[in-house]
């Protein structure tokens, strides 16, 4: 089966830099590393050539370079939805503890609780400046926003559903003209 490069590019563009706690230029010791986390929905391990050493899947030279210069995670237990996966990673807790086990919807009461610590809040006392860029999917009420959970900066969308809708599908809205 031939890889769908359009879909993969779309996923990378929208979701790859989902959460990137980034250590920005502030007075830090040389021993304190920068931290960049690239998170993507629906991307299998064989979709990143750093994991397959180029034997199958896509060629991802830029991600490969980041992996070669830093750290490549080899073990992670994926959750069944993007909301559950993000809540588990950002808080370091089980989705049963965060209560975010399924895809959240815009305007819902469910979202990241102020009681749940986040990776950004843990990094703050260590002198890190943090940012999250891309899809958040952990609630859209004010108290749930990334900037209210330790992130200094957030640029992205709070929800991104139905990203794979295609104009060629019969249920895609038609141009009335």
Residue 133: strand pairing partners: 155
CA distance 163 to 8: 11
Q: Which long-range contacts (CB under 8 A, 24 or more apart) does 42-46 make?
A: 42/11, 43/8, 43/11, 43/12, 43/15, 43/16
Q: What is the H or E stretch that residue 133 is in?
A: strand 131-133
Give me the catalytic one of 6, 16, 137, 160: 137
Told to judge if 82 belongs to the known catalytic residues of this protein, a careful annotator would answer yes
Alpha carbon of residue 97 to chain centroid: 20
Give me the catalytic one of 6, 82, 149, 160: 82
CA distance 133 to 19: 6
Enzyme catalytic residues: 82, 137
């Amino acid at each position: 089966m031939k890889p769908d490069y359009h879909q993969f590019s779309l996923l990378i563009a929208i979701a790859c830099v989902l959460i990137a706690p980034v250590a920005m230029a502030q007075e830090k010791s040389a021993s304190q590393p920068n931290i960049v986390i690239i998170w993507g929905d629906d991307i299998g391990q064989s979709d990143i050539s750093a994991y397959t050493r180029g034997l199958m899947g896509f060629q991802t030279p830029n991600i490969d370079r980041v992996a070669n210069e830093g750290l490549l995670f080899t073990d992670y237990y994926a959750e069944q939805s993007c909301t559950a996966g993000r809540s588990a990673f950002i808080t370091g807790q089980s989705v049963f503890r965060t209560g975010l086990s399924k895809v959240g919807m815009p305007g819902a009461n469910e979202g990241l609780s102020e009681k749940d610590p986040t990776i950004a809040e843990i990094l703050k006392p260590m002198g890190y400046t943090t940012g999250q860029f891309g899809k958040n999917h952990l609630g859209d009420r004010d108290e749930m926003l990334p900037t209210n959970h330790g992130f200094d900066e957030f640029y992205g969308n709070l929800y991104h559903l139905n990203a794979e809708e295609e104009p060629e599908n019969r249920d895609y809205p038609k141009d009335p003209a």
